[in-house]
Amino acid sequence: MEKRFLIVIFGGLGDLAKSKIYPVLHSLYKKAHLSNCSKIISTGRRPDIGKEEFIQILKDSIGDNDTSFFSLFEFVRLDLDKMEEYKNLEDILSKFKEEELIFYIATPPFTFESIITNLGNFLKEISNKRKIVIEKPFGYDLESAKRLNSIIKEYFKEEEIYRIDHFLGKETVQNIFGLRFSNIIFEGIWNRNFIDHIQISALEDIGVEGRLGYYDKVGALRDMIQNHLMQILTLIAMEPPCCINEKAIRDEKVKVLKSIREVKYDDVPLYAVRGQYEGYLKDERLTKSYTETYAVVKLYIDNLRWDGVPFYLRTGKKLKKKETSAIIVFKKIPGLFSKLLDCTPQENIIGFKIAPENKIILNFQLRPLGGSLLSCPIPTAMEWNGPNLEAYETLFIDIIEGDHTLFIREDEIERAWEIVQPIIDFWKDHREIPIYPEGSFGPKEAEDFIRRDGRVWRYL
């Protein structure tokens, strides 16, 4: 018999629960992935929420009146900061002695330490198998990430912990691995001999919107680069694993992170640029802030495959274009052909577009129909358009099945913080920040930064 499980969502009245978790659970329910789920418990502090009000929240969230799905749920009032209130879960949990318990912590990051401690102590009296799912951001810097890891480890084993980076659940991101390791034609060129540089970008046309309170403490480097973009870097740069299992794949990703060249504190201006959009301080909730809403970091991987190839990790808000992508830019065509052509052939690229749509593009060039061999070649592209699957759906299935491949391991998260820590420190000590116009391509300093390397920012 397959094992049964029960899901507990802490922060069940929050934005993530309503916008992502409930719709994804509904979709999984309709596809029969929750047939072994005995119950879904949502918790929250609001005293005015009874059974009916909670069902209305679910209805609004999924946009459907699916009463059979709603019957899986139970709402439990619980202040997660108060240890004594966890006993509110006792009655209901006592009915499910055989079930594996999946605790999903969907609350603001400043609550993680106390919730993990309270939950860990509460679970000492309970013998069910358990899993704990922790949302991002995992820590605020290297020290806080280490502290959070050490608190979790007091109560949970590494195999019970699922640290979420939802970018890893995205179809195109997983296809970086798929394309590289299922096609022999790419292996020979996937290195410093053929690749000039790599650009990994998460560009948004919107600002901080309702997330100001959180975002102003965090900024672009911590919000996007340390986690999501660094994860994409590891998938592009990793060696083929010895086998397809979670340990082998995560070991290879960690090896990449360990090979990233240290950015020394004094050298930070050579490796990183930041900016803040013009209207950021106009928000009446702020008086002064040096938080970056745009950041670029250039990293080098000191190993045989990648020596000398820069990886540019770039993110920003209120930009002209919304695009999340990873672009592999190949070297210019050398020698005779480039000299004889009366135009400069474009570099070949392989582009992974992650948002707004899923797409993989291979750009190459052909001689024009009827043209001479040496006339200017026409750029040509081959595209694969993937489905826009919800990343959280994939991640939930993996949590249920106990597959950690798409989750971040303890050593992985700490090493990623170690890499960006000198930049965090330098920016804290040097606060003046370039301002860029809203709807632009970012600060002029970022344009100069890449132009100095003889390159330009790419878009798909």
Ligand X SMILES: NC(=O)c1ccc[n+]([C@@H]2O[C@H](COP(=O)([O-])OP(=O)(O)OC[C@H]3O[C@@H](n4cnc5c(N)ncnc54)[C@H](OP(=O)(O)O)[C@@H]3O)[C@@H](O)[C@H]2O)c1
Residues with a known catalytic role: 228
What is the Cα Rg of the chain in Å?
A: 24
- Which one of 130, 136, 314, 318 is in contact with ligand X (CB under 6 A)? 136
- Give the one residue of 109, 241, 351, 377 binding ligand X; rule: CB under 6 A: 109
Closer residue to ligand X in complex, CB, 3/46: 46
| Position among 46, 129, 261, 430 found at the interface with ligand X (CB under 6 A) | 46
* Virtual torsion, Cα 50, 51, 56, 59, nearest 10 deg: 150
Q: How far, in Å, CA of 44 to CA of 111, rounded?
A: 13
Collect contacts of 176-179 with beta carbons under 8 A, ≥24 apart: 176/232, 176/235, 176/236, 176/326, 176/352, 177/235, 177/249, 179/350, 179/352, 179/360
Q: Give the nearest distance from C-beta 315 to ligand X in angstroms.
A: 15
Amino acid at the residue 373? L
Q: Can you tell me whether residue 46 is helix, strand or coil?
A: coil
Which residues, numbered 5-34, are part of the site for ligand X (CB under 6 A)?
A: 11, 13-16, 19
Q: Least CB distance from residue 79 to ligand X, whole Å?
A: 6
DSSP state of 127: -
**In the complex, least distance from residue 392 CB atom to ligand X, rounded to whole angstroms:** 9
Three-class SS of 330-367: ECCCCCHHHHHCCCCCCCCEEEEEEECCCEEEEEEEEC
Q: Which stretch binds ligand X (CB under 6 A): 40-48, 197-205, 306-314, 441-449?
A: 40-48
Say if CB 255 and CB 326 are below 8 A apart: no
Q: By CB under 6 A, is residue 317 in contact with ligand X?
A: no
Phi, psi of 333 (to 5 degrees): -70, 125
User: Minimum distance from CB of 77 to ligand X (Å)?
Assistant: 9
Interface region with ligand X, contact rule CB under 6 A, candidates 44-52, 68-76, 236-244, 261-269: 44-52
Which residue, 333 or 355, is less far from ligand X as judged by CB?
Answer: 355
44 in contact with ligand X (CB under 6 A): yes
Position among 38, 61, 88, 111 found at the interface with ligand X (CB under 6 A): 111
Q: Walk across the sheet containing 195-203 and list its strands.
A: 378-385, 359-366, 349-355, 323-330, 195-203, 310-316, 294-300, 272-277, 435-436
Task: Report the site for ligand X in 49-108 (rule: CB under 6 A).
Answer: 80-81, 106-108
Before 356, cis peptide (omega within 30)? yes
Tell which positions 157-216 bind ligand X, by CB under 6 A: none
CA angle 128, 133, 138 (to 5 degrees): 140
Residue closer to ligand X by CB (options 173, 450) is 173
- Of positions 4, 33, 45, 255, contacts ligand X by CB under 6 A: 45
Return the residue nearest ligand X (CB atom). 14
User: Closest CB to ligand X among 48 and 266?
Assistant: 48
Q: Is 354 in the site for ligand X (CB under 6 A)?
A: no
Of the candidates 99, 100, 135, 347, which one interacts with ligand X according to CB under 6 A?
135
CB of 307 to ligand X, least distance (A): 35
Q: Which is nearer to ligand X, 99 or 135 (CB)?
A: 135
Nearest distance, CB of residue 14 and ligand X, angstroms: 2
Rounded to the nearest 10°, the torsion over CA 280, 292, 165, 108 is -60
Helix (H, G, I), strand (E, B) or coil at 170: coil
DSSP 3-state of 38: strand
Q: Cβ 120 to ligand X, closest distance in Å? A: 16
Residues near ligand X (CB under 6 A) are 11, 13-16, 19, 44-46, 80-81, 106-109, 111, 135-136
